[in-house]
Amino acid sequence: MIIVMKSGASRADIDRVCGKVEARGLKTHLSEGEDRTVIGVIGHDPFSVKDAFTHDPSVEEVVRITSADTVVRLGNGLTIGGDEVVLMAGPCSVEGGEMLLETARAVRDGGGHILRGGAFKPRTSPYAFQGLGREGLRHLAEARRQTGLPVITEVMTPSEVETVAEVADIVQIGARNMQNFDLLREVGRHPRPVMLKRGLSNTIEEWLLSAEYVLSQGNYNVILCERGIRTFETMTRNTLDIACVPLLEELSHLPVIIDPSHGTGRWSLVGACARAAIAAGADGVMIEVHPRPDEALSDGPQSLTPQNFAALVPQLRRVAAAVGKRLADPVRADTADAAVAG
Amino acid sequence: MIIVMKSGASRADIDRVCGKVEARGLKTHLSEGEDRTVIGVIGHDPFSVKDAFTHDPSVEEVVRITSADTVVRLGNGLTIGGDEVVLMAGPCSVEGGEMLLETARAVRDGGGHILRGGAFKPRTSPYAFQGLGREGLRHLAEARRQTGLPVITEVMTPSEVETVAEVADIVQIGARNMQNFDLLREVGRHPRPVMLKRGLSNTIEEWLLSAEYVLSQGNYNVILCERGIRTFETMTRNTLDIACVPLLEELSHLPVIIDPSHGTGRWSLVGACARAAIAAGADGVMIEVHPRPDEALSDGPQSLTPQNFAALVPQLRRVAAAVGKRLADPVRADTADAAVAG
Amino acid sequence: MIIVMKSGASRADIDRVCGKVEARGLKTHLSEGEDRTVIGVIGHDPFSVKDAFTHDPSVEEVVRITSADTVVRLGNGLTIGGDEVVLMAGPCSVEGGEMLLETARAVRDGGGHILRGGAFKPRTSPYAFQGLGREGLRHLAEARRQTGLPVITEVMTPSEVETVAEVADIVQIGARNMQNFDLLREVGRHPRPVMLKRGLSNTIEEWLLSAEYVLSQGNYNVILCERGIRTFETMTRNTLDIACVPLLEELSHLPVIIDPSHGTGRWSLVGACARAAIAAGADGVMIEVHPRPDEALSDGPQSLTPQNFAALVPQLRRVAAAVGKRLADPVRADTADAAVAG
Amino acid sequence: MIIVMKSGASRADIDRVCGKVEARGLKTHLSEGEDRTVIGVIGHDPFSVKDAFTHDPSVEEVVRITSADTVVRLGNGLTIGGDEVVLMAGPCSVEGGEMLLETARAVRDGGGHILRGGAFKPRTSPYAFQGLGREGLRHLAEARRQTGLPVITEVMTPSEVETVAEVADIVQIGARNMQNFDLLREVGRHPRPVMLKRGLSNTIEEWLLSAEYVLSQGNYNVILCERGIRTFETMTRNTLDIACVPLLEELSHLPVIIDPSHGTGRWSLVGACARAAIAAGADGVMIEVHPRPDEALSDGPQSLTPQNFAALVPQLRRVAAAVGKRLADPVRADTADAAVAG
């Protein structure tokens, strides 16, 4: 947050505003220009600052800390966080090379832009399928080579960051690791873009502070992903917090992706929530697609078939247009090699 | 829910399916046609039934209990629950005759279809403004007369149902009264349409069962209104459960309205969530509008100004079109007298 | 809350402290004694006041608004809120005269002090057993006559308050009606003691404000009852908020009862949670007891058998002694007629 | 869980019961004795099994998988999980050598058995004090040497497990890492006892499955610690789930510790909740103690002073006696060197 003082603001005015900021437990950093002074506000809970200073007679305006939104650019030129809406899709888990390729082709042909798929899977039970691990990463690399789709996949522990980032165009931090601070610092030291999922029961403030763990290490390519929060309601797996989209737009400069598959846990609700996400202003959606959901090793009930995914994309295109955005262009196969270079 | 048996289903098949239904604590009602038998399922938790019988070899299909959606029709011809999207708007509380008229005109001129405004106000503290009561009802009647807008307002206790329903085109049951069963029965005995808000921490199943309290007394004109649920998140007043829109479409034949004002508690988030609601398939939205939010006696922080409301309506029109619906036609002043007749 | 100023506090000090209080949206009322001034603080959120003024140099101390705790005294002399711990027990619903008498005798012989039993039952589904209504009240009156146990039973709607209070020694407001403000006002106008259950998802602040609805009408005999709150955990029916016991002791002068039957929903957990309640300082517990839990029309899984209840009472007696309290004396049958006189 | 078949159970009965178990997604393992067959049930959700088989005519009983409770034994002979109640106490963070020693002596002299103190601190904000790290570990080792108190401290990442376990008698997994599965596996491979805190919003089932991650690697010395869950209530930092104590006693053989400091976030509520924990049957409590809470670098508001801690211990001793347990014997200084050997 930056507080821009009015051009005629006196030293006493500046000191007074700084004092008010510091009284809230935040730090200040002055930038005194020829015409006016800008007070940088360091710390969290920017909403409180905004509310408190908007009407101060010597304050011109209160703005987010960057003048422009963060736009994450992948190796094949795809951008996340600008005017284009991106569709991430694929299976919950990489279950094998064949099924991944089949799904990846369906995702691309249906209009998806990024392939998702878990190689390392955080599973509640130690007896459940734990993912194919490094073999899964190889399948992802091959799927990218054959389809040109950039790849997003999860990393679960600091010692695997380098390995995962060799294959992934975007490294995902899962909901259960949102406050795994050593892991956050480790991906912060690596240049690969990071998508940080919100924890099941974490507040938006905690989420932004976890993003700061990554940013503070020098990696500014951070994407936020809302995937539903834990509430008392049991008919849906989680409760999708749609209001976080405009709220994060006010609070942060980072792109926001919505995951309606985990957000609802029911495939029949995914389409409506994906449309809602884009109508609310999200920079993209992440959707689980599986060629045979009934046979999926994980999360079958929330996976779309390729047919359902392909039928949804035109709906999303129309909603994007209704709110002044557009879906990103289809991926070209010849961009495959460039994908991970970003 | 209705289970439609296959045309060749035997008596034993029918008995078997009925037995399975009854084993779940539900009641059955047989309708034996010439060609096939239909089993009516009475009771709650229809999802469990659907999941259990969809794949039964002698079951043709499992469908919602009415072949057509409920469409609530008001006296001026406005319908809720069909292809048209309706906009309810107005102040949280009726604070006086002048301010209500001023707001009502702004709502109508901005494109709203129904005037909301609380005369009886359920307030957490006994020391807070409790609403103007019957005087507020008179202001609502006058506002309808002058603008032609049908009126929705809350009733809090069984003994006031008759009085409120004399003025209201739609009687609202507030979130805190969602399980005030005597009140639900009382509005169920009256012919006036009822909008039932979801309780702060009530599940969708409980909400539908509260609707059944009204329906079971013979009043079928019930509208559901999601207004956010209580979660751990504190940056928003409540968490708007957007997934309830497609979920209720599967579970119920009743129209669904979304209230993004209470759902978020911040006016700056209302527009995005209203767009999301319509993109998800809601039959309408309810939005708090106040000519001077800073001076509002209740809920100012979540109220739009008339200007902001008017600017939002064209956005909602575009999103409705993107999902194959359209906003209801503007209200004509000469329909005022007809409004409450429905 | 009362702020006691130091004896030497100046007029300026007093004005300053009043100003700080009023800046928090609270009202003040000055009592100027010969030696010192006391500032009455009217409104809610007393914790914020306590934290803010404890260290003020001109403030002597910040104390609760009454010098002594509220002690509710029933017609037979039993007190709630003093040094004695009371045990309320009985069936969820009054299912008939015989079963109620059988249970009432078992409760009294096992060491219970007050008979609970629902005549009017708030049920989520309109198709579930709704209680025996007025017939149930007659059974309760008869059980009191034969056993001497005072009776607590729920009232659901304003128009039944008079009828229920004719029979009940304590009128219960159920969790779903905690914010049924017309009902709260109505029991506030009646002299009968009221036990106000906490709503499923209501904060402690909201609960205390609902108590103020009763108190503000002149009925000061209010007992609070924690019965578990709604959370994400599904293995227990609700989550018993044990910390509310010491918290309410700081915030309020009202007696606090814990209901571990609703609080857990599992009979096997009731004993441990009842012991915990008394160890934490509760003024009593309310326990569901049914002669044949498997046949109960409601809440069987959380009901103790009479044998289990009788086995628990000595444990509760030992825990009460360990924290400096004692169980109330056993009820004498010849006090029956006096019971409701209070 | 083990299902013990009746002695006359036929092969068909055994197959039938196994089939019912497997139909719930669990695995079975038969142990056929001379007299009767025992069916081992592998997997989670033991309650569902218990409920389903208790009344089966050919089942004798359903019991927990170990005949005896797990008792964790430390190097100095102290046991956790038997008849003795242990008190863990100390500062949230190790802030320096002097303050730690001062606190450790106060804990021991006040009647505490184990010293807690964080060297590696998981902090929501990257800008908050992150703990002294390895320097903190050295202070803990020195405090143990001088006081004889065994030490518990947190490990945050797999690569530090070896280092932390060199100093810690018990290695703690914090709430935010409850589903950091790589970390769980790593402490599972080490022989040091592990205390696993429940996640802020994790169900009891998820918690037990996380414990299985440790157990499945061969480390059976696992202690569970409830520290409050995240709910809508804001007056307390978390909501202490007291019912988990008897519930875990039914579901698991692992010792259970309650942390009322994090569970409430207010020091004035800690004593009552510690008494409640022991009355409910907990194997111990963990309490934050700081010599000068107002100056604490973290969690001051929930820390007891040494004086308050010393005053609480006799209360806990009386409650333990009331439920048939006793506080563990005081720690002898000459056992210091033995402490970490376990």
Q: What is the pLDDT of residues C3-22, one digit of tens each?
A: 878 888 888 888 888 888 88
Which of B145-154, B189-198, C32-41, D176-185 has the lowest average pLDDT? C32-41
Residues D281 and D238 in one domain: yes
Mean pLDDT over C212-218 rounds to 90
Task: Tell me, yes or no, whether A199 and A53 share the same domain.
Answer: no
What is the DSSP-derived secondary structure letter of residue D84?
A: E
Q: List chain C residues with CB under 8 Å of D269.
A: 243, 246-247
Q: Choosing among B22, B45, B125, which should be mutated to test the C contact, i.e. which has the most C CBs within 10 A?
A: B125
What average pLDDT score do residues C88-113 get? 96
What is the CATH number for A160?
A: 3.20.20.70
Q: CB under 8 Å to C11, separation ≥6 — which residues? A: none
A179 vs D contacts (CB less than 8 Å): 122, 124, 176-177
**Distance between CA atoms of D239 and D233, rounded to whole angstroms?**
7
User: With contacts defined as CB-CB under 8 Å, which chain D residues touch A176?
Assistant: 179-180
Same domain, C44 and C109: no
| pLDDT tens string D42-61 | 665 555 566 667 667 777 77
Average pLDDT, chain D: 90
Segment among A283-297, C17-31, C310-324, D4-18 with least mean pLDDT: C17-31
DSSP per residue, B96-150? -HHHHHHHHHHHHHHT--EEE-BSS---SSTTS----THHHHHHHHHHHHHH---
Predicted confidence (pLDDT) at residue C146 exceeds the cutoff of 80: yes
CA A95 – CA D300 distance, rounded (Å) = 49
DSSP string, D156-209: -SGGGHHHHHHH-SEEEEPGGGTT-HHHHHHHHTS-S-EEEEPPTT--HHHHHH
User: Per-residue DSSP letters for D26-68?
Assistant: -EEEEEE-SS-EEEEEESS-HHHHHHHHTT-TTEEEEE-SSSS
The pLDDT value recorded for residue A67 is: 43
Residues A53 and A174 in one domain: no
Same domain, residue pair A136 and A209? yes
- Contact between residue B210 and residue B197 where contact means Cβ atoms under 8 Å apart: no
CA-closest candidate to residue C256, choices C227, C213, C220, C215? C227
Of B126, B158, B210, the CB nearest to C212: B126
For chain D, the C-alpha Rg in angstroms (whole number) is 21
Per-residue confidence (pLDDT) for residue B49, from 0 to 100 = 61
To the nearest 10°, report the CA torsion of D283, D285, D286, D289.
Answer: -150
**Residue D77: half-sphere exposure toward Cβ, Cα within 13 Å:** 10
Q: How far is A279 from chain B (nearest CA, A)?
A: 5
Rounded-to-integer distance, Cα B307 and Cα B300, Å? 15
- DSSP letters spanning C146-164: HH---EEEE--SGGGHHHH
Same domain, A167 and A310: yes
In tens digits, what is the pLDDT along chain A, a chain of 342 residues? 678 788 888 888 888 888 888 877 777 777 777 777 878 776 655 555 666 676 677 777 776 554 467 899 999 999 999 999 999 999 999 999 999 999 999 999 999 999 999 999 999 888 888 899 999 999 999 999 999 999 999 999 999 999 999 999 999 999 999 999 999 999 999 999 999 999 999 999 999 999 999 988 889 999 999 999 999 999 999 999 999 999 999 888 899 999 999 999 999 999 999 999 999 999 999 999 999 998 888 888 899 999 999 999 999 999 999 999 999 999 986 766 565 654
pLDDT mean over B228-254? 94
Q: Which residues of C touch B182 (CB under 8 A)?
A: 156-157
Collapsed DSSP state (helix, strand, coil) of residue A116: strand
Within this chain, do residues B113 and B83 fall inside the same structural domain, yes or no? yes
pLDDT of residue B36: 77
Q: Is the interface score ipTM higher than 0.90?
A: no
By C-alpha distance, the chain D residue nearest C270 is: D243
C43, C63, C83 - which closes a domain = C63
The two structure tokens encoding residue B201: 């921490």
Return d(Cα D328, Cα C7) in angstroms, integer.
48
Q: Note the pTM of the prediction, 2 decimals.
A: 0.85
Find the domain containing D205 and state its range: 72-341
Contact assignment for C273 to D243 by CB distance below 8 Å: yes
CA distance C207 to C286: 18
A249 plus A321 within the same structural domain: yes
Final residue of a domain: which of D45, D63, D81? Answer: D63
Shortest Cα distance from D97 to chain C (angstroms)? 30
pLDDT greater at residue A50 or residue C318: C318
Q: How far is A212 from chain B (nearest CA, A)?
A: 18
Q: Does B328 touch chain A (CB under 8 A)?
A: no
D270-292: pLDDT as tens digits? 999 999 999 999 999 999 999 99
Does B115 lie in the same domain as B53?
no
Each residue of B38-90: pLDDT tens digit? 787 766 555 556 666 766 778 777 765 544 678 999 999 999 999 999 999 99
**Whose CA is closest to C264, among C294, C240, C229?**
C240
Is residue B341 predicted with pLDDT exceeding 80?
no
Touching subunits for chain D (3+ Cβ pairs under 8 A): A, B, C
CA distance D234 to chain B (A): 9
Find chain B residues with C-beta within 8 A of A280's C-beta. 272-273, 275-276, 279
Contact B117, B299 (CB under 8 A): no
Hey, is A151 helix, strand or coil?
A: strand
**Is the distance from CB of B255 to CB of B72 less than 8 angstroms?**
yes
pLDDT, tens only, C191-201? 999 999 999 99
pLDDT of residue A54: 60
Q: Where do the DSSP E strands lie in C166-283? A: 170-173, 194-197, 222-226, 256-258
Q: Residue A43 has what pLDDT?
A: 63
Q: Which residue has the tokens 């942060």?
A: A252
Does B124 lie at the interface with D, CB-CB under 8 angstroms?
Answer: no
Buried b or exposed e, range D311-340, using 16+ CB within 10 angstroms: ebbebbbbbbbbbebebbeebeeebbeebb
* Average pLDDT estimate for D149-173: 97
- Between positions 183 and 202 of C, the ones with CB within 8 A of B are 183, 200-201
3-class DSSP string for A25-55:
CCEEEEEECCCCEEEEEECCCHHHHHHHHCC
Specify the number of domains making up chain B. 2
Q: What is the pLDDT of residue D305?
A: 95
Q: Which residues of B touch D232 (CB under 8 A)?
A: 201, 230-232
pLDDT of residue A59: 78
Chain D CA closest to residue C207: D233
What gap in Å lies between CA B6 and CA A111, rounded to an integer? 39
Q: Do B57 and B144 fall into the same domain?
A: no
| Alpha carbon distance, N-terminus to C-terminus of chain D | 28
Q: Smallest Cβ distance to C203: which of D203, D235, D268?
A: D235
A223 and A300 part of one domain: yes
Quote the CA–CA distance of B212 and D197 in Å, as a whole number. Answer: 43
Backbone angles phi, psi at C225, to 5 degrees: -135, 115
Determine the pLDDT at residue D102.
97
CATH code of the domain covering residue D41: 3.30.70.1140
- For residues B10 and B149, membership in a common domain is answered with no
